[in-house]
Chain A
């Protein structure tokens, strides 16, 4: 038998000689298409880019006409967003400059000083962000906890009228916020939950609950029952099986559900606008109200919005695999 060295090609094969390879024409179309896709994506991201640059513009640059794309970035917007300032008297300014020379001022104080101002404290926005974090965090934990339990029960047990119950649960999510808010507003006022953290946490828990139940049910449906049945046969109780066999397998599903609930609670506006006024007000309804004080502080608004964008962008990338499921209440999987 002749060896490969005798019968094989003289030169090593460095390119594909497959007969079914993509024709040059098709490949070129593919490349053109890829370029178009990237262009479309870039065009769609322009508004987000505008927000990003606006957050780092000075007050003068923001209102420049025509708008500037290239400018000297500053942190003025961020200072405006997070602090209350007062105009410093000339004498006081001199004092502050002295401190700045000694390096005793932090970066925020220096930026404020550049426009002749002195920081007098944290802005109300800081409190609103803390409220947002608290309310979104706790309500998410609650709704995921309840959603995991109910989702498991709906996935594994048969009960009369299950489909109707599931429909009822989903339909609560379809209600326009404003429709339920009128009676809830009166109820909350009656029991003293209006403008309270507890009230908002409960409201957001319920708001996300139907979503969590549907999504978790979908995730549980995908876990084969055989694991649990084996454990049950081996003498584990139903609760132990749930805790030791089912939960560990559904961790990624729980994580996805948690993140979706967090986004929804973090972005929620209508309930927050109508059910809070001062104490428990979250960030979304307070960003537009920044317009009210001494002209439109676009840089501050942009900086505030940016704080909203960044976590969401990170999350979208982390959740890529689950996005479709998330937006269709777990009904459609890729």
Chain B
């Protein structure tokens, strides 16, 4: 880098007399650069969290004029004994489990598939990446149309069934309610949207594997199956783990997609935890105290997973 310095100072001679006045020290510049950001984040994120921590110990409705009343841990005990909430947690758990697992498998498969270069492979890879950048609520809406039993394309793409009988969003087949059908249809869309994300991360992991590992394995006559499990998988693992953690966090928070597609219905079959929280906090009763307590429980879960995520992220960064 010494050459760079010499070059820049000869080609562009900065002949200037240093003027010390009006110069800010590095420390002042740093404060000037960092504090506006920190202040905004504190006002809009930190402070609200403290406020809602307080609210979570009160009985308060945002629509009523009465001030919050301190009730201690009553909200928390109510939450832990509320069957609706456990239902929402279970639904979210199923959703996270299945959608992240499928995304991992599909994303990994896609990455292995598009790994080889051919003419135009860059464009094709980019095309596959489009879904994840779309607005989830808009995606949810147009999949609702695709799933429509009478004029959607989805049912006509499934062989051997009467297209008019299957109602994915309504969770019915031939007018008989089928459990999990609606949830499955949301999961399918989430997989469609986010498998490319896993693919993108795995792909960058695959590209970083040095060729000599495979060459050495080939010389030792390792089977391609053996190469896959002993070279490809371990080498890609750190990035795959990041992808899985990131998707887990996002799936736990999932809100937009369900709101666009099902609004939590039919009944409460697709009511994920964020949708349940939205209903409690903003629809009907505006139970702000109760909702704050619930929000805190979700927050703790998300922070725990984020912590893991960021730790792995730093690790991967150290290796790269």
Residues of A within 8 A of B (CB): 30-31, 33-34, 36-38, 40-41, 44-48, 50-51, 54, 62-67, 146-147, 149-150, 152-154, 157, 159, 165, 167-172, 174-187, 189, 202-203, 205-206, 209-210, 213, 224, 226-227, 229-231, 234-239, 242, 263, 266-267, 269-270, 273-274, 284-285, 287-288, 298, 301-302, 304-305, 308-309, 312-313, 315-317, 320, 323-324, 327-329, 331-334
Contacts and interface: CB of A to CB of B under 8 A. Distances in A.
B142 A301 contact: yes
Contacts of A234: 9, 14-16
Interface of A: prevailing SS: helix
A44 to B, nearest CB: 6
Interface in B77-135: 110, 113-114, 116, 118-119, 121-122, 124, 126-135
B14 A236 contact: yes
A149 B207 contact: no
A309 B134 contact: yes
B135 A266 contact: yes
Interface string B191-210: 01000110011001001000
Nearest to A319: B133
Given A179-B299, A328-B313, A332-B320, A157 B26 contact: yes
7 contacts: A67-B153, A172-B45, A179-B52, A213-B37, A237-B24, A302-B142, A331-B242
Contacts of B127: 41, 44-45
B1 interface: yes
B138 A308 contact: yes
B16 A235 contact: yes
Interface stretch (B168-176, B178-186, B213-221, B288-296): B288-296
Contact of B239 (A205, A266, A309, A332): A332
Given A179-B296, A186-B51, A242-B29, 15 more contacts: A47-B192, A67-B153, A146-B37, A149-B32, A172-B41, A178-B281, A180-B48, A181-B281, A202-B44, A237-B19, A267-B138, A288-B259, A302-B145, A313-B130, A324-B200
Contact of A331 (B16, B22, B51, B313): B313
B133 A315 contact: yes
A41 B192 CA distance: 11
